[in-house]
Amino acid sequence: MADAGQPLADRVAVVTGAARGIGRATALALGKSGAHVVAIDLDEAAVKPTADAVSALGRKGLALGADVGDLRSIDGMVRRIIDSFGRIDVLVNNAGVTRRAYVMDLTEEDWDRIMRVNGKGVFFCLQRVAREMIPRRSGVIVNIASIAGKGYAGASNVIYAGSKGAVISMTRMAALQLAPHNINVNAICPGTTVTALSDANLRTRAADEGVTVEEMARRRNAAIPLGRANEPEDIAALAVFLATPGARNITGQSFNVDGGIIFD
């Protein structure tokens, strides 16, 4: 039985988009909690340092390259994980893309790219992993959504907001339909989080408004009641909790981690 310091001892966790940012922080946090971690990203070489960092903690870390927008790639990814570990206990559906753009400047290419990863990727990774969890009657799925999916006015763009709203809705329905199989499905809705993706958005906003990046960061933080943006580790901490036995009766929920920006 896992002790308090290792609540996920010997669990097998899969994290998509794990090369950097929230995904990397979550992979490491899961490893520190005792889990073996499969770190997934489009480029296997880019995600290998994450897997190596998990291995350095004394867990098994495996890096895999996969395109979450391609069903054959997802299936191959899951088959390799099952071949290596025999099961999947936890999935953190984190891979996501966006760009900062005004509603009238968005293109069909933006729609296809964002929905392919943020919508299609989340659903089909969830479905494929659930197919492995159902026979074992055990599993935890954590989808990384966003407060953009709940109407946050500062969202990077309309399509991104729609994709994250879809993640929240899919989380609820999947939770209901997988509950008879003892599989928990929840979502985390980060607010402003300091990552490479958000940094690019911040620089675009600064350029659009003709101010320095530092001034834009000051304005961003001033709009957050707690006065600070998330670090990736803030999201990772909740993901780990949702994967532990302490969260066994929590499912279908979408939790904001945003410093108090919204309350829905």
Active site residues: 160
Contact indicator for 144, 134 with CB cutoff of 8 Å? no
Q: What angle do CA 178, 51, 86 make, to 5 degrees?
A: 45
DSSP helix/strand/coil, 229: coil
| CA–CA distance, 80 with 141 (Å, rounded to integer) | 19
Q: Give whole-number Cα distances, 238 to 46, 137, 187, in Å.
A: 25, 23, 10
Cα 51 from chain centre: 16
Q: Give whole-number Cα distances, 246 to 80, 93, 117, 238, 242, in Å.
A: 29, 20, 30, 12, 8
H or E segment and range at residue 40: strand 36-41
Tell me, what amino acid is at 137?
Answer: R
Number of H helices, E strands in the chain: 9, 7
| CA–CA distance, 194 with 216 (Å, rounded to integer) | 13
| CA–CA distance, 30 with 15 (Å, rounded to integer) | 9
